[in-house]
Structure formats: C-alpha cells, structure tokens
Amino acid sequence: MSHASRAIDYETRPVNLRVRDMPTQLRPREEFERVGAENVSDAVLLALILRTGTKGVNVVEVSQRLLSTFGSLTALAKASVKDIQRVDSIGPVKAQMIKAAMELAQRLTRESVGESPMVTTPEQATAVLRERARLLRKEVFWALMLDAKNRLIGEPRKISEGTLTSSLVHPRELFAEAVESRCASIILAHNHPSGDPTPSSEDVKVTKQLIAAGEVMGIKVLDHIVIGHRKHHNATDFLSLRETGLVKFG
C-alpha cells in the first residue's frame, strides 16, 4: 500500500475545528496509532510534537502554517528559534520544542555513524559530515583525521569558514591540527550551500596546494569531498575530486 493511501493529506482536513471535534480518523494521535510513525505526514509529526494549538487555531493548522512558511523540513531545521517564532501561533516554547526535535534528529544521524568509523570511500566520508553540512548557509572547510587503519580520529576538525580560497585555508592551520592529532592521513571536505557539488577552480587550486604541503609534512591527503544537496538533477549529493581526476592525489 502506498504512503498516500495509508495517511490522510493534511490539506483535506477540516480547519477551524478543535482537534477533539474532528472525526476520530483525522486526529493526529489516532492517525499515528492507525498507520504508524513511518507512514504519517510531516504535518502529523509536527502536530504531535507541538501537542496543542492556540486560541482559535488548532494544532493541525499550526503545523500546516509552519510547513507552508518554510517550505520543507530542511528549511525549518535551518531556521533559528527567532525565525520560527515569527510564524503566527508559534511562541517561544513551541519554537524551542521544534528546534529541540530537529537537533535530536541531527544528533541521532551523527551517532549512527559511530565514534571511530572506518573511512575508506567518498561515501563514508560524506556520511560523517552530511548532517553538519546540510543545514549550513556558509561554506565550511573540514579535515577528517585518520589513523594508519583509516579510522576517524575524533570529531571532524573545522579549519575555516567562508568562501574557499587559498588565503582562507592555509596549510599552517590544517597541518597544525594534523600534527596535534597524530594522524596518518587526511580527507579534506567542504560544503557548497548552493547544493551543487561541482568544484570550482579555487577548490582545485587549494587542493593541489594542500596535497603538496602534506607531502612535505609526511601526511597523505587522500581526497577532497565537496558536499551539496540531493536534487533531481544530481546523481548524488557529493563529489570526490579524486574520482573526477581533476587533481592527482598521492
């Protein structure tokens, strides 16, 4: 049975009614119990998190307003508590509840990667950073420090923030972190907030400089991952400079 046939579209629900006055099958809790968490709409899940509406506006309508205002869960997750409060019927407590739920989702994803995961492919490197990168509005440059068995040493290190340039990402800062962590090799990564992971000429230039510096330091630079967003015209949400052949790695 398809998702659409199991769950009820929120746009078809009666508005301007208290939830308790709705037909039983249209109430968020009853629908959740009937079809399960994985089959209800985003609006139902938001309604269950918020629990109550406000005077004259039931929780169904409040949830729908949130989704309409931000357009997607990703955009809602990026929003600050103040941004969320600007939506009618959302006060500070409800805004905090939403932000807390979004943060838990991100932490769960990071936890599922593991404390010291093996990182041997571009897909695995992207998995470590995807949730961090997905909500960013600026470019951030990270380094994944790996031991001799290609296991991640600690958290990804944020080296710089802002549009990637050779002046912004200096070998001195990167390899100071690498020496401190006593790593054997490094995977570079940064995000493109536009969603398009296609590398720029500056991305290629910076990568070549850092590879050369790594050879002097005796620390291998294994790859540089550019992380974007999943869109219909992108086969994946990331790109490996090693796999493109644009840069020669050691």
Pick the CATH number of 116-244 from 3.20.20.150, 1.10.150.20, 3.40.140.10, 3.40.50.10420: 3.40.140.10
pLDDT of 27-48, one tens digit each?
Answer: 788 888 888 888 888 988 999 9
Q: Average pLDDT, whole number, for the chain?
A: 85
Model confidence at 201: pLDDT above 50:
yes
DSSP annotation of 191 reads E
Residues of the chain with pLDDT > 90: what percent? 52
Q: Do the domains spanning 3-110 and 116-244 agree at the CATH topology level?
A: no
Sheet containing strand 238-240, strands side by side: 157-161, 140-146, 185-191, 220-227, 238-240
Model confidence at 176: pLDDT above 70:
yes
SS3 content of the chain, % helix, strand, coil (to 5): 50, 15, 35
The reply to whether CATH 1.10.150.20 applies to domain 3-110 is: yes
Task: Give the torsion sign (CA, 114, 115, 120, 123).
Answer: positive
Model confidence at 12: pLDDT above 60:
no
Can you give the residue ranges of every domain in the chain?
Answer: 3-110, 116-244
Q: Which of 39-48, 85-94, 108-117, 187-196 has the lowest mean pLDDT?
A: 108-117
Model confidence at 196: pLDDT above 60:
yes
221, containing H or E segment? strand 220-227
> Closest Cα partner for 126 from 208, 247, 243, 248?
243
Question: Residue 6's pLDDT is what?
Answer: 47
Question: Residue 72's pLDDT is what?
Answer: 85
Report CA-CA distances (Å) from 224 to 125, 138, 227.
10, 18, 10
